[in-house]
Structures are given as C-alpha cells and as structure tokens.
Amino acid sequence: MKRIILFASGSGSNVENIVRYFEGHPAIEISAVLTNKRDAFVIDRCNKLGIPALYFNKSGFTGSSLVLQVLQCMDPDLIVLAGFLLKIPSELVTAFPKKIINIHPALLPKFGGKGMYGKHVHTAVKTQGESETGITIHFVNEHYDEGAIIRQFKVGISERDSVDQIAAKVQSLEHKHFPEVIEAILLDT
C-alpha cells in the first residue's frame, strides 16, 4: 500500500474529500493527518472519519526534529499539504525530496508567496480584475509556492463574482482534481 500523510491547519474540507476519495482504495491509504492548530476543525473531521490526527506546536515543527522523526517512522510515500499554512522547514524538504506536494488556490506564479492563502488570494484576484483563476498543485521546496508545478486547473470568473463566489469556484476545482492528481502521482499514471 502507498501511504499518504496529510497536513492541515483549518477546517479540513480538502482532507475529508481526499480521505473519502481513497476509502477502500486497493493501493493507497491515508495514514494520518498532522495539524499545527489544537482547535482546528480538521481534528473533528478526522475523529468522525476514523483517521489518526496528530497535533504539534510550532516549536515541535520548526525548532526541533520531532515532526521529522514522526514522519520518518511513518515512512510516507507522499506528504500532502491540504490547507496547511506553515512554511515547510528545509530539513523536511531534504528528507522527503519530491514527496511533499501542496495545493494553492490560484494560478501560480500569480498570487503566491507568504501571506497569500484563502480569502487573501481570492480578494487579490478580484482586486486585480482577473478573468480567470484556479488551482495549482505543486511540489514543495524551501520557498512559499515556488516548487515545480505538477498541474493547474482554471475556472472563469467575472467582475460580478464576489470573493465568496470566487472561493467556491476554486474549492470546487480543489475537490474535483486534487485527489485525482494525488492518485496519479502515487501510481505514476
């Protein structure tokens, strides 16, 4: 079995979508979800889905090798950032080359970088008057949103779309395509 470890910081809608996609999969399983937020709703989702959820604080992530040691013990085939907001330490990137992927709610390289997540991205897209937006699934390197792009998916938007409507369109793309791309990476298809 190929093993996925998910990282999340928030509500976990992408986590739930990915877990449900791989339920009963003959070759891929979700081993655990790691979160840096003690009160993140993703923990409740994991409890309902029967997926182990592990909390770590920021110093356990960036100030020590604790998370690295946990990941090495779990031996994942892929680490998937699904709404995870912290920058991945270079030690993790080095330990898991081409095994950490992220989803970004815009068409990189536009609207990426530190502080560009969630509604911040959608607000910037609207403010700039973009006619399309989308998602970028990419490998993680030592810099925010600069890893090699794996796939992008686009959706048209209009000037009448609110930030919430843009967010809903982007989330629809995330839920449709993210699990499929994860599966293709793990099965080399």
Q: Provide the annotated active-site residues.
A: 104
| Pairing between β-strand 132-139 and β-strand 149-156 as defined by DSSP bridges | antiparallel
* Lookup: tokens for 81: 């950032």
Six token digits for residue 185: 């990476």
